[in-house]
Amino acid sequence: MTNILVIGLGLIGGSLVKSLRSKNKNSQKNNYRIWAIDKNKKNIESALKDKYIERGFSNYSNIKEALDFADIIIICAFPSVALNIIEKYKDLIDNKKILSDFCGVKKDIFDAVSNKKYVGLHIMAGKEKGGYINSSESLFKNSNAIILSNDKAKKEDIKKIEKLSKDAGCGKIILSTAEKHDYMIAFTSQLMHIIACSIVNHNQFLESLGYEGNSLSDHTRVGTIDANMWSELFLYNSKYLSNSLSEYINRLEDFKKALDKKNIDELKKLMINSNKIKSKWLKLKNNKKNNI
């Protein structure tokens, strides 16, 4: 039996407790006992009513009791909030406990927990709308889970977080470092959100109704965005994100130059190169899938 304290019951924290409790329901063995803290009292009441958690608190007056209970502490909050919680309560967390987080950027968290047993987690899943009300038991199903750890964590600690990820529904597990995580997330997630917002902000977007196909919907799926959360994530990862954005702008310029020069051969060359790279990417993806 593993005791888990989840701090933050928004979309991610809510989906975590729901998915783990669902796993328990579908198994003859109860693997987890779950407590939670969230300042939104309605979130705690809903999670208790539906029996996704055993105990819940809407303030931090019981923080010592909650931390003492936990084998694994998982912070599901904005980076600034997570860092504040770590700074305030780190002296109450001993090295028998695994400290984890779901933050979308890792380097600042990693640096703040250098003297704690830390195994960070980032499951690549989400929705356009956040909050506990939009959380679900199936949000993480077949998603990639990225795990990183510091030198205080042992192999068995990492295995516990891997198992938790699998029990939450994840498919593929990636072991990474904080730097590699933030470098890659700048491209695979944050840049994609900037692209979606930029297309929606384009002066032709509103007049596109009736002319659009699936490609516009596909490219703007994440154009409805939590500005408070994503602006913070962007700034905490500004170095890598700015570099990735610069590279993307350069690739756009390749097409603009070819168009301005009416150079059909250059346009074809850019597209053929894209086809080759995408084909290689798909082969690598399929090979990795077959090797799991």
The answer to whether domain 2-176 and domain 181-260 are alike in fold is no
Residue 291, pLDDT score: 62
Residue 71 has pLDDT above 70, yes or no: yes
Across the range 109-121, mean pLDDT stands at 97
Whole-angstrom distance, CA of residue 9 vs CA of residue 123: 15
Residue where the block lists tokens 């989906």: 15
Whole-angstrom distance, CA of residue 149 vs CA of residue 162: 12
Specify the CATH number of the domain 2-176.
3.40.50.720
Residue 289 has pLDDT above 80, yes or no: no
Residue 151, pLDDT score: 96
Confidence of residue 29 (pLDDT cuts 50, 70, 90): low
Residue 281 has pLDDT above 60, yes or no: yes
CA 144, 117, 124: angle at the middle one, nearest 5?
15
Residue 53 has pLDDT above 70, yes or no: yes
Pairing verdict, β 2-7 and 32-37: parallel
pLDDT, the chain, mean:
94
Across the range 104-126, mean pLDDT stands at 96
Whole-model pTM: value is 0.91
The CA-atom distances, in angstroms, between 66 and each of 14, 36, 56, 92, 222 are 17, 8, 9, 10, 35
Give residue-wise pLDDT tens across range 170-193: 999 999 999 999 999 999 999 999
> Percent of the chain beyond pLDDT 90?
91
Whole-angstrom distance, CA of residue 73 vs CA of residue 54: 15
Give the number of residues written for the chain.
Answer: 292
Give residue-wise pLDDT tens across range 224-270: 999 999 999 999 999 999 999 999 999 999 999 999 999 999 999 99
Domain ranges of the chain: 2-176, 181-260
CATH, domain 181-260, list 1.10.3660.10, 2.30.30.60, 2.40.10.10, 3.30.70.260: 1.10.3660.10
Residue 193, pLDDT score: 96
Whole-angstrom distance, CA of residue 83 vs CA of residue 113: 9
